[in-house]
A = this chain, B = another copy of it.
Amino acid sequence: MQIKTDSITVATNGHGHVLDLTGEATHALDNSGLSEGHALLFVSGSTAALTTIEFEPGLIKDIGTALERLVPESIDYAHDATWGDGNGHSHIRASLLGPSLMIPFAKGRFLLGTWQQLILIDMDNRARNRSIVIQFTGV
């Protein structure tokens, strides 16, 4: 059993930008040399989240629409009243989705569905550089 900690760095546009991390995560898995185990993906920061989706333009639009409907940008947030950041909605959306994602792998490949990609959603209200921890545990 071994543990290997790596990272993925991306530049985002913020404002709900959805990025497909599957390629970079697969590259990191190859580099790890491990064949069976799991990857923990974790985004440091409180205005972005990780999940999986079928990464196609329709659903990328739909998840943005859903997040805006559920946690609107335009309503009042106590966070914004205090800090003036204007990103109260970003924080709440990120907390509801969560910062961590676990993906199992076997025979050196992620056990994802064919139409299932690993995504980062940057909820913040500005462009950001994001570093995502990817930590492999296995043999």
Contact = CB atoms under 8 A, between A and B. Distances in A.
Interface of A: 1-3, 5, 36-38, 40, 42, 44-46, 51-54, 56-59, 61-63, 65-66, 70-71, 77-83, 88, 91-92, 94-104, 106, 111-113, 115-116, 133, 135, 137-139
Contacts of A100: 101-103
A1 B62 CA distance: 42
B1 A102 contact: no
Contact of A133 (B52, B81, B97, B104): B104
A88 B111 contact: no
Contacts of A96: 51, 66, 96-97
